[in-house]
Amino acid sequence: MSPQTSGQGARPASRASLMSMKVFLALFGVMCVVQGVGGVLGELLGGEWRSWFLLNHIGFLHGYQTFAGLATCVLGIALCAAAHAAGRD
């Protein structure tokens, strides 16, 4: 029986996949936190200046940027926590 069919070869591939998912979740989580905090700060500091924060450029969010920024920040924190917890045995 080959290692691939007996299940012995599946474990390293699973670990590599888990590590790449942890990295993806962590990076996406940090990006969400930055975008959320930036959106909230942009709205609290006037919100009329052009910025690179995505939430300020989405049309249907006008008037709700503060809430959307807070929700995006909470989502980012949850993604970072999920990345940290992934793979714990």
CA dihedral 85, 37, 59, 48 (to 10 degrees): -170
Mean pLDDT of 63-75: 92
- Tokens for 53? 């924060």
Tell me the pLDDT of the chain averaged across its residues. Answer: 80
The model carries a pTM of: 0.73
Span 75-84, pLDDT tens digits: 999 999 998 8
Q: Is the pLDDT of residue 9 over 60?
A: no
Burial 59-79 (b: 16+ CB within 10 A, else e): eebeeebbebbeebbebbeeb
Residue 16 or residue 42, greater confidence: 42
Residue 4, pLDDT above cutoff 60: no
